[in-house]
Amino acid sequence: MSELKPILNALRRSKVGAILLLLQIAITTAVVSNSAFIISEKMTYLNQATGFVEKDIFTFQMMHFGNDVNYMRQAELDESTLREIPGVIDAVIVNAVPLSGGGSSSTYRLQPTGQKSKGLNASIFEADSHFLNSVGVQLVEGRNFTDSEVVVSNDYAQYPTVGIITQALSEELFPDGDALGNTIYRGDNPVKIIGITDVMKGPWLKLDRRDWSVIVPFVMADKLTQFIVRTQPGERAQVMQQVEQHMLSSNRQRVVENIRGFEDLKAEYVSPDKLTMRMLMVMIVVLVLITALGIFGLTLFNINKRTKQIGTRRALGARKSDIVRYFLIENSVISTFGLVTGSVLAVLMAQQLMKHYSLAQLPLPFIITTAVSVLVISLLAVIGPAKRAANISPSIATRTI
């Protein structure tokens, strides 16, 4: 450590170079740690379990035209046609498709309107008893709808009064675990809870209500109908190809469109976030590279500038390892200051991001990991030039002076 003093003295003489390096390291640390945090948040979001075997399920829409259609009868017919296609496990008409970004939602409360009570905004799925089997989600408690509970109608006055809710919703509304058999209210309309499902994501992965859904045994077929179909593993592609033909064979006056696998629905919904994640990844890689290159270049220049001094030191008995050590220590000193500044900067930046963009708080491990990595990369960038400096012959010193 006896070298520290001369190193500091030397640094004091070429302040600007050192400060610039320090700044680079500081900004890099701040940007990389915050970006890494955003990336990890996005990854958690992108990789969240949906509760579906996405590869076996697909959805499609059908738009009818022609006046002479009884939508209700047609819907029943279509469902049974779909369920008979070889390879299909189950199929269902539904008002909203999970993961699609489109659907309906409403606030469910513990008491009817007029009485203050806890309420949550939940997604609503309206379908018959085939819904759970069609999306491949299990019940953890209670039972599925019976056929007599399913209402097939255009009349909201007949809206069902029973429902199945997701476990996440039951835990939020009934922390004591007594959801089953209890009743929740949408406005004044009661919904008696007869079943509770395992994890099942709703239409909006981004919103709070993603885990909170209510399934109601109501089928309302209209001009535009949406289907969910689950197939045997590996048979989906084939079924997806046939589905338009099967549907049009019973009635030509309609358009089948948006035949999409569940994983594609999810991919499309999350694609802006995936894009941000990718851009950030590219950016931090390039940023670290640029910083490393900068350190590398600057050390090379310093060595060139100090050729005579290095030669003199070598002539006076310094070993090669001493020269390498000199540059490593010099770099560590600058880096350490840079990393401390950078960590402070990272925290300040995270505060700004939290304030303006409702990001979560930057956890400390992200800063520490980034700081250590930047230090290692910075030292690696120095080793090459420092070894070259160590090879400067002592005779250089004698030759030019």
Partner 1 sequence: MFLHYVDLSWRSFKRTPMVSALMVFAIAIGIGVTMTSLSIYHMMTKDPIPNKSERLHHVQLQTMDDGEGYWSKDDVPFQVTYQDAINLQNGNFPYLRSAMYKAGFSVHLNSAQFKPFVQEVRLSSKDIFQMFDLQFIYGGTWTQQQQDDIAPVVVISKSINERLFKGVNSVGQSFYLDDIYVQVVGVIEDWHTPVKYYDPNNGSFNDPENIFMPFTMGAAYEITTAGNTNGWKHEPDNTFKELLASENLWWQFWVQLENAQEKEEFGQYLMSYMQQQQTLGRFNREQLTYNLFNVMELMDYRGVVKHDNQIMVALSFMFLAVCIANILSILLAKFLRRAPEVGVRRALGASKRQVFYQHLVEVTLLGLLGGVLGIILAQLGLWGVRASHGAYDALASMDVTMLFAAPAIAMVACIIAGLYPAWIVCKTAPAIYLKSQ
Residue numbers at the binding site for partner 1 (CB under 8 A):
16-17, 20-21, 23-24, 27-28, 30-31, 34-35, 38, 63-67, 113, 155-157, 187-188, 223-224, 252, 254-255, 257, 268, 271-276, 278-280, 282-283, 286-287, 290-291, 293-294, 297-298, 301-302, 304-305, 353, 356-358
Residue whose CB is less far from partner 1, 27 or 94: 27
Residue whose CB is less far from partner 1, 253 or 393: 253
**Dihedral pair phi/psi, residue 380, rounded to 5°:** -60, -40
Residue whose CB is less far from partner 1, 3 or 268: 268
Q: Smallest distance from the beta carbon of 258 to partner 1, in angstroms? A: 9
Residue whose CB is less far from partner 1, 42 or 130: 42
Are 262 and 58 spatial neighbours (Cβ–Cβ below 8 Å)? yes
Q: Smallest distance from the beta carbon of 268 to partner 1, in angstroms? A: 8
Residue whose CB is less far from partner 1, 80 or 113: 113
Residue whose CB is less far from partner 1, 44 or 357: 357
Are 70 and 223 spatial neighbours (Cβ–Cβ below 8 Å)? no
Q: Smallest distance from the beta carbon of 186 to partner 1, in angstroms? A: 10
Q: Which residue has the tokens 């560590």?
A: 332
Q: Smallest distance from the beta carbon of 102 to partner 1, in angstroms? A: 8
Q: Smallest distance from the beta carbon of 293 to partner 1, in angstroms? A: 7
With CA atoms as reference, report the closest residue to 231 among 136, 144, 145. Answer: 136
With CA atoms as reference, report the closest residue to 53 among 279, 246, 230. Answer: 230
What is the spatial distance between Cα 160 and Cα 163, in angstroms, rounded to a whole number?
A: 8
**Within a 10 A sphere around the Cβ of 120, how many other Cβ atoms?**
17
Beta strands 183-186 and 119-126 are: unpaired
Q: Output Rg (C-alpha) for the chain, integer angstroms.
A: 33
- Residue 154 sits at the vertex; the CA angle it makes with 150 and 200, to the nearest 5 degrees, is 50
Q: Smallest distance from the beta carbon of 51 to partner 1, in angstroms? A: 25
